[in-house]
Structure 1
Amino acid sequence: MLELHAITAGYDSHAPVVRNASLTVEPGEAVGLLGPSGCGKSTLARVAALLHRPDSGTVRLDGAPVRHWRHRAPREQRTAFGVIFQQPRLSADPRLKLTDLIAEPLRATGRQDAPLPERVTELAATVGLTPDLLGRRPHEVSDGQLQRACLARALVLRPRWLICDEMTAMLDASTTAALVTAVEDYRRTTGAGLLAVGHDRTLLDRWCDRTVHWETLRSRQSIVGRS
C-alpha cells in the first residue's frame, strides 16, 4: 500500500502549497486526484513518487516508512515508481533519440531484465510508437509521440506504482485514449497501483476506481464511483 499521512510540502517552508493532506492507494487500485490548476496536487504527486521531500508528515510504502528521497531513497523504493509528467518536452532529454530515452532508466540503474533493443521495441509497440520514430529526437516528433515515449520510459523498470501527473492534459482525444489504454493494460497484467492527477472529472471518473477531491484531503476523502 502507498500511504501519505498529514503531508505538508512546498518549495518555501514559510508558504507550503500542500497542508496536512492524507491519501492512500491500494495495490492494483486506480485513484484519481481531482483539483484545479495550482492547488498543489502535482506537489503531492511528487511527494508520493519520492521525488520531493515533504516538510512534515509521513509516507509509507508497503508498510515501510520512507526516510530518504530522490537519489537517496533505497533503490527498491525508488524504482518501484513510474512517473509520467504533464509536459513531455520538459521531462525528456532533447539530445536523446527516443530509443535511448526509453532505455534511460535501465542504463541508469544497471538493470537489464531483457536485452535493451528487445525491451525498447516491446514497449514502443505497447504505447503505439512505430519503429521509424525510435531513431528520432524529441524535436522531431509531436507532443503525443513524445508522451508515448515518456510512458514507455516510465514502464521500462516494471514499476509497482504509476504516478500520472496530468499525463493527457496537452493531448488530443485519440492520444489520450491510447495512453490510458496502455496504462490500464499494464495494470491488468502486473497489478500495479495508480495515482492519476488531473482536473478533468469526466476522465478521472471513467478511468479510476475512485476519485478523491482535493478540497477534501484534509478532512475526509470524497469518493466518486466509476461512471
Structure 2
Amino acid sequence: MTSAQHLLADEVSVSYGHQVVLDGVTLRIGRGETVGLRGPSGCGKSTLVRVLALLHRPDRGRVSIDGTPVDAVRYAVPVALRTRVAALFQSPRAAADPRLSLTDLIAEPLRATRTPESAVRERVAELADLVGLTADLRSRRPHAVSDGQLQRACLARALVHRPDYLLCDEATAMLDASTQAHVAAVIRDYQRTQRAGVLVITHDQTLLDRWTDRIVDLTGAARAHA
C-alpha cells in the first residue's frame, strides 16, 4: 500500500451550536484495512462517519481520498469521487425511502449516475443474491420486510458502486445473530475481493477484537489521532 491509499479525516472539528462534538480528530483508514472505532454514546462517532462519507462538512479540517482533498459534500462532490465511499447505518428504516421497493432502493444510486437500465438490473440482481434477498422480497417495500431484510438491501445499496471505503456505523446492532453473521461475512468477503478499507463502529468488544486490524478510541468532544 502506498502512503496515498487511504481515506483520511485530517484535524476535523465539528460543532452543533455551542456544543463541540469533534475537536481536531485525525483518522486514517487504509485500503484493505479494517479499523474499529469505539467510544461512549455522544462522543461524535456517527458525526465522524458522516464527515468521512462526505455527508457533512466539518467546521475545520479536511477529508481526502487517496491523497485527493475533498472540499464539498453530497452531490457537489464529483461522481467519480463521492462513489468511492459508502456508509451503512444502524437503522435501515431511517436510511430507506419507504416509497421504494427493495429493488428500486438498491438501484437508486445507479440511476442517479445515469447508469444504463440493463446494467442497473444486472447489478441489482447480483447484489440481491449476494446479500440473500430472494426474488419475492425484492418487490416489497420497507414496511413489508423485517429489519434484517431491509438492512440486507441497504448493504446491497452501499456496495452498488463498488466503493473503495465502507463505513459501518453500528450496522449490525439491530439485527438478530444469524443476520449479523451474514452481513459481517458479506462485508469481509467484499473487502477481500476489492481490497476495500472498512471502518467498524460498535459497542460489541468481541466483534471489534475478532473483525478489526486495529481499534481507535474516541471520547467526548474528542481529539483522536490514528
* Equivalent position of 2:156 in the other structure: 152
d(CA) in 1 for partners of 2:189, 2:117: 20
Aligned alpha-carbon RMSD (Å):
1.6
Mapped to 1, the partners of 2:210 and 2:217 lie a distance apart of 15
The range that moved more, 55-64 or 109-118, is 109-118
Gap regions ≥5 residues in structure 1: 222-227
Q: Give the Cα separation in 2 of the matches to 1:219 and 1:52.
A: 19
Deviation (angstroms), 1:215: 3.2
Q: Distance in 1 between matches of 2:141 and 2:120?
A: 18
Contact 1:186 1:192 (C-alpha < 8 Å) held by counterparts: yes
User: May I ask how many residue pairs the two structures share in their alignment?
Assistant: 220
Q: Does 1:139 align with 2:138?
A: no
Whether the 8 Å CA contact 2:7–2:66 is kept in 1: the answer is yes
Higher relative contact order (CA 8 A, sep 6+): 2
Take 1:102 and 1:190, find their aligned partners in 2: how far apart are those partners?
19
| 3-state SS in 2 of match to 1:17 | strand
Please name the residue that 1:202 is paired with: 206
Please, what TM-score do these two structures have when normalized by structure 2?
Answer: 0.92
Tell me which residue corresponds to 1:75: 79
Contact 2:22 2:44 in 1 (8 A): yes
Provide the TM-score with structure 1 as the length reference. Answer: 0.92
Cα drift, residue 116 of structure 1: 2.2
Aligned-pair identity in percent equals 57
Alpha carbons 1:84, 1:165 under 8 Å: kept: yes
Deviating 4+ runs (over 4 angstroms): none
Change (3 A) 1:86 1:218: same
| Deviation at residue 218 of structure 1 after TM alignment | 2.3
Kept in 2: contact 1:37–1:199 (CA 8 A): no
SS at match of 1:68: coil
SS at match of 1:93: coil
Contact 2:38 2:202 (8 Å CA) reproduced: yes
* 1:218 and 2:218 matched: no
Correspondence for 1:225 = none
Hey, what does 1:179 align to over in structure 2? 183
Letter of the 1:20 counterpart: G
Is the CA contact (8 Å cut-off) linking 1:45 and 1:163 kept in structure 2? yes
CA distance in 2, matches of 1:82, 1:113: 22
Give deviations 1:69-95, integer Å, cap 9, x for gaps: 111112222111121111000110001
Residue 3 of structure 2 corresponds to: none
Cα deviation for residue 52 of structure 1 reads 0.5
SS in 1 for 2:19: coil
- Provide the C-alpha distance between the structure 1 equivalents of 2:20 and 2:115, rounded to a whole number of angstroms: 36
